[in-house]
Amino acid sequence: MRTLSARAHHLAARLRPTSPEARRPGSGRPLLAPVDGGGWVATFSYGVAVTFGLDDGAEARALAGLESQLESPSLRPEVETALLRVTGAHDGVGPDAIELVDLDPHRLLVVAEVLARSVVLADLEAQVGHTFDRVDPLTRRLSAGLRPDGRERDLLAQIGSALLTRMRTLGRVEVGEKPELLWDHPELEPLFARLSAEYDLVERDRALTRKMDLVSDVSGTLFDLLQSRQMLRVEWYIVILILFDIVLTLWGLGH
């Protein structure tokens, strides 16, 4: 019975492929490559690398080799870890490890898919948590009947950025869809289903959607309030100009 580690690293917003096959239009499948000395690295176009069976030194060298392919590198990369155990009997999830029949590359890619999606969700969950912390004082201010001040413009820009990040990221990750690999290897669907349930991928995606919908509603309310205040300011400018014109007219008639 063999055990090995697996680690998913969310390195960047995007990872540019280098092989001609991966650069083909419509090719979004991950690539699994062996590492000198043993182990593998699976890379995903949405900026995730998953390592299998590498010690710290080998993993650091493998990730360093990907640096030239990273677009918008993460300042604080999220990491998801797991232990794999080769049982030779069945695929499943044990109390302390993911259990696999063997280390067939397609099985490793199924594991990599789940870990990659999980680490992306973890990164987005952290972003949403930070956005909620910023939005909470604003909602309290609005509930107290106070109008937003100039600082909310910066917050609105940050909220828009967070929404755009989620849209772009999950649009590429497609958490709720089954991997393309399973169309060619349907016998691995039970493994993917078990792992997806173990990491709560669907439930976490739904929770993120609900939270981002709430943030979107708050940002929409803020935008409307800021816009109405700007319109009110314009109306006052118009009134002042009219009054100024009337004063000039009266002054002209008096002379």
Angle between helices 105-143 and 151-173 (to 10 degrees): 160
CA distances from 217 to 37, 97, 183, 194, 223 (A): 52, 41, 38, 35, 10
Instruction: Kindly state the average pLDDT of the residues 29-53.
Output: 92
| pLDDT greater than 50 at residue 26 | no
pLDDT of residue 29: 79
Q: How confident is the model over 190-207, as a mean pLDDT?
A: 91
pLDDT for res 56:
93
| Domain ranges, ordered by start, for the chain | 2-114, 117-236
Q: Structure pTM?
A: 0.75
pLDDT above 80 for 18:
no
| Nearest in space to 49 (alpha carbons), one of 57, 40, 36, 37 | 40
